[in-house]
Amino acid sequence: MASVCFYFQVHQPYRLRHYTIFDNGNDYFDDHKNGEICRKVAQKCYLPANQLFLDLIRRHRGRFKISYSTTGVILEQLKEYAPNVLESFQKLADTGCVEFLAETYHHSLSFLFSPSEFADQIEAHRQVIYDLFGQRPRVFRNTELIYNNAIAQAVERIGGFDAILAEGADHILGYRSPNYVYRPPNTSTLKLLLKNYRLSDDIAFRFSNRDWSEWPMRAEKFAQWVNAVNGNGYVVNLFIDYETFGEHQWEDTGIFEFLRHLPTEILKHPDNDFKTLSEAAAAYDAVDAIDVPFLVSWADTERDLSAWLGNAMQHSAIRELYRLESMIRTSNDPQLMDDWRRLQTSDHFYYMCTKWFADGDVHKYFNPYDSPYDSYINYMNILDNLRSRCSVVAPTSPAHDHSVSAISA
């Protein structure tokens, strides 16, 4: 049996507007730009891809299934800028062949800095998924698939989850294959599903690369690789950024055609099927515990946290951000809280990354700033203003007192 498990990540941050030290407004976000980008990605990716998957699900009458994780912040933006995309996601949910996962509402690194915030954001996210799609997620993925034993244990304690996702990185698998179901150590109910990065990246990155030995990759060829898993595993976890379809891989690469034929090709082999992540977790026993004491992610070649926390600026920005937590909570101001949460989105720190600054490549494409230094300056100016709003709202707060009632009204 090879169960193909597609999961697509859907996310856009609230990008910041240019904010100098002379600015003092409370409007930190570039609504115009965010709207523009949202609508553009909706045109090139979300709408055509959603339609394609809807068609495929109907055509294959329940044999084709997929999973999504949509952050709270993208859902908000879709509601505002491209509500027809939301509707198409709802149609997908209604097919019964589409599962929605849970993650932190604001796509944040909160696990590393504030367990309470982490829990709150998961709760908020579960709520919005239920409100929009009528589903209660049972599978969790952390921001950028950041994962370690502690995260798994925390998620199990929060409760309500059957499985958690992680990157099937070589350095945590060793000789083992990502094509089995595993579990985290010291947990009782959670299962661990690991991304098959080779096959996932074949679609997400190599698909249009003419220098690739396997180019052009047709659905038929890919299906053969999937078939080869039979006897060597049970699941083929294809965890892919949704923008692959139409944005990273443009339509003229043939990516949509590839997808269109893929289910048929895969289902030609009688032992293959498609499963949602919950189904995969339920269908197969965990074969082993995978010990991940240090943090891994699905980012770059290092598969670590260096994209967001690799330099002094990133560390300083995130520390200052979370240092405001108690002041923000005591101020009991929903707008303040929302602004603070939007600033937690991991993308802000990604823009400050200097890893490839010498070569200036991939990171640059998605970076609204000319340089990581500009991004840090902008972010810190905003944080400064946020901080000053806290003192205004709760001038006498000692910043350690969590009792809300003392300050409100």
Partner 1 sequence: MKIRTLMLGWEFPPFISGGLGTACYGLTKAMDRLGIPVVFILPRAMPIRLAESGELSVGTGTFGQYYQTELRNVRLRPVASTLTPYVPGESRAAATWRKTKAKTENGVEVVALEEATGANYGPGMQEEVYRYAVRVMKAAEGEEFDIIHAHDWMTFPAGIALAAQTGKPLVVQVHSTEFDRSGEHVNQRVYDIERQGMHAASRVIAVSNYTRNIIISRYGVPPEKVEVVYNGIDFNGHAEASYAGPHPDKTVLFLGRVTMQKGPEYFLFAAKRVLEKMDNVKFVMAGDGDMLHRSIELAANLGIGHKVFFTRFLRGDDVDRAYQMADLYVMPSVSEPFGIAPLEALQHNVPVLVSKTSGIAEAFRNALKVDFWDINEMANKMVAVLRYPPLHEMLLREGRKEALRFRWEDSAARVNEIYHDALSVG
Residues that are catalytic: 144
How many residues of this chain bind partner 1 (CB under 8 A)?
20
- Residue in 389, 385, 313, 316 with CA at minimum distance from that of residue 16: 385
The stretch near partner 1 (CB under 8 A) out of 153-161, 262-270, 287-295, 368-376 is 368-376
C-alpha distances (whole Å) from 8 to each of 68, 102, 122 are 5, 12, 18
Whole-number Å distance between alpha carbons of 168 and 176: 10
- Would you say 337 or 377 has its CB closer to partner 1? 377
- Would you say 208 or 316 has its CB closer to partner 1? 316
| Cα dihedral 43/48/53/58 (nearest 10) | 120
What is the residue whose two structure tokens read 């929060």? 158
- Would you say 95 or 311 has its CB closer to partner 1? 311
What is the residue whose two structure tokens read 């933006």? 77
In sequence order, the 6+-apart residues with CB closer than 8 A to the CB of 377 are none
Among 177, 227, 354, 385, indicate the residue that binds partner 1 (CB under 8 A).
354
Q: Does 279 bind partner 1 (CB under 8 A)?
A: no
| Cα dihedral 176/177/182/185 (nearest 10) | 30
In sequence order, the 6+-apart residues with CB closer than 8 A to the CB of 205 are 248
Among 36, 224, 312, 392, indicate the residue that binds partner 1 (CB under 8 A).
312
The stretch near partner 1 (CB under 8 A) out of 2-10, 222-230, 327-335, 369-377 is 369-377
Whole-number Å distance between alpha carbons of 102 and 161: 9
Footprint of partner 1 on residues 162-201 (CB under 8 A)?
A: none
Whole-number Å distance between alpha carbons of 175 and 405: 55
Footprint of partner 1 on residues 10-29 (CB under 8 A)?
A: 20-22
CB 115 to partner 1: min, Å: 25
Q: Does 315 bind partner 1 (CB under 8 A)?
A: yes
Footprint of partner 1 on residues 375-394 (CB under 8 A)?
A: 376-377, 380-381
Whole-number Å distance between alpha carbons of 384 and 43: 36
Among 174, 334, 370, 398, indicate the residue that binds partner 1 (CB under 8 A).
370
CB 381 to partner 1: min, Å: 7
The stretch near partner 1 (CB under 8 A) out of 3-11, 88-96, 306-314, 333-341 is 306-314
Q: Does 306 bind partner 1 (CB under 8 A)?
A: no
DSSP states of 188-248? SS-EEEEE-HHHHHHHHTSTT-TTSTT-S--HHHHHHHHHTTBTTBSEEEEEEEGGGBTTT
- Residue in 170, 117, 127 with CA at minimum distance from that of residue 298: 170
- Would you say 256 or 357 has its CB closer to partner 1? 357
- Would you say 306 or 311 has its CB closer to partner 1? 311
CB 344 to partner 1: min, Å: 19
- Would you say 104 or 314 has its CB closer to partner 1? 314
- Would you say 18 or 171 has its CB closer to partner 1? 18
Among 251, 357, 399, 407, indicate the residue that binds partner 1 (CB under 8 A).
357
Whole-number Å distance between alpha carbons of 205 and 216: 13
Whole-number Å distance between alpha carbons of 319 and 342: 15
CB 328 to partner 1: min, Å: 21
DSSP states of 282-321? HHS----B----S-B-SSTTTTSSHHHHSSHHHHHHHHHH
Binding mask of the shown chain, residues 199 to 218, with x at each position contacting partner 1 by CB under 8 A: --------------------
Among 135, 230, 264, 316, indicate the residue that binds partner 1 (CB under 8 A).
316
Chain residues in the site for partner 1 (CB under 8 A) = 20-22, 311-313, 315-316, 354, 357-358, 360, 370-371, 373-374, 376-377, 380-381
